[in-house]
């Protein structure tokens, strides 16, 4: 049976970077649930579909194909045959993704797809509800947390590295709004599973976080 590692936590804690490294180190399949919801937001916004337009959203979801492809050590996100890895990581998508990911029709479509990806391979999956909803029986659950100021600082640096022009205060406000939306939404809210292990990355380097989580995984797999 496949071994499942579920990593949850708010935006900006380093989940994506950490999960990618661990997947590469341990030979696990990496499932980025956030990228999937970002694809939904991107496609809906391109087509001018509002979150309240359920019928149109359902049609869109039925005709979407999301794939994760390896390009060397980089995992790319492909939507309907197009590489959208950079397009889904803009501040515009950041500010709108939760409007779509909180919808029941979207979660109902994505959750079975995410579970199916974990049927035949050891996987490491990261997002907001991986250990509480998608894989409640995951072999090991991690809740990766960080101070909100440090999360905003990390996201701000990511934008600058991509050449995006944005103020730190705007990034901080976006992070705060996303956290409120994710923790207060009715469907699959962000929360720490009762049996999840808390890892606080505020004062840790990426390498230190990776080492701590890999040690936990390897101990569990023995």
- Residue ranges per structural domain of the chain: 4-208
Specify the pLDDT at position 1.
Answer: 61
Contact by Cβ (8 Å): 119, 2: yes
Nearest to 106 by CA among 149, 159, 66: 66
Question: What whole-number distance in Å separates Cα of residue 126 and Cα of residue 104?
Answer: 19
DSSP code of residue 136 = T
Residue range 4-208, CATH number: 3.40.50.300
**SS3 at position 170:** helix
- Cβ contact 99:93 at 8 Å: no
pLDDT score for 135: 95
Name residue 124's beta-bridge partners: 5, 30
Report the C-alpha gap between 71 and 153 in whole angstroms. Answer: 28
- Count each helix (H run) and each strand (E run) in the chain, helices first: 8, 8
| Alpha-carbon span 6 to 123, nearest angstrom | 8
- The answer to whether 6 touches 128, Cβ cutoff 8 Å, is no
Q: Are 110 and 36 in contact (CB under 8 A)?
A: yes
Q: How far apart are CA 104 and CA 195, in angstroms?
A: 25
The pTM of this model reads: 0.84
Residue found under tokens 């923790």: 183
Residues of the chain with pLDDT under 50: none
Count Cβ atoms below 10 Å from residue 163 Cβ, excluding itself: 6
168 within 8 A of 222, measured Cβ to Cβ: no
Convert the pLDDT of each residue in 3-12 to its tens digit. Answer: 999 999 998 8
* pLDDT at 11 (0 to 100): 86
Instruction: Name the residue among 170, 188, 193 with its Cα closest to residue 34.
Output: 188
């Amino acid at each position: 049976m496949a071994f499942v590692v579920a990593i949850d936590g708010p935006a900006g804690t380093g989940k994506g970077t950490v999960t990618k490294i661990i997947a590469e180190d341990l030979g696990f399949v990496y499932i980025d649930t956030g990228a999937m919801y970002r694809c939904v937001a991107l496609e809906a916004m391109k087509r001018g579909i509002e979150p309240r337009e359920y019928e149109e959203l359902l049609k869109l979801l039925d005709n979407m194909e999301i794939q994760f492809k390896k390009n060397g050590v980089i995992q790319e996100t492909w939507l309907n045959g197009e590489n959208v890895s950079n397009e889904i990581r803009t501040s515009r998508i950041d500010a709108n993704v939760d409007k779509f990911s909180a919808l029941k029709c979207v979660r109902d479509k994505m959750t079975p797809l995410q579970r199916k990806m974990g049927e035949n391979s050891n996987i490491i999956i990261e997002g907001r509800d991986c250990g509480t909803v998608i894989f409640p029986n995951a072999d090991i659950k991690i809740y990766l947390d960080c101070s909100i100021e440090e999360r905003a600082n990390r996201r701000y640096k990511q934008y600058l590295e991509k050449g995006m022009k944005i103020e730190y205060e705007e990034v901080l406000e976006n992070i705060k709004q996303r956290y409120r939306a994710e923790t207060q939404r009715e469907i699959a809210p962000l929360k720490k599973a009762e049996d999840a292990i808390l890892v606080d990355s505020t004062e840790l380097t990426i390498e230190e976080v990776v080492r701590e989580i890999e040690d936990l995984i390897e101990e569990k797999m023995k």
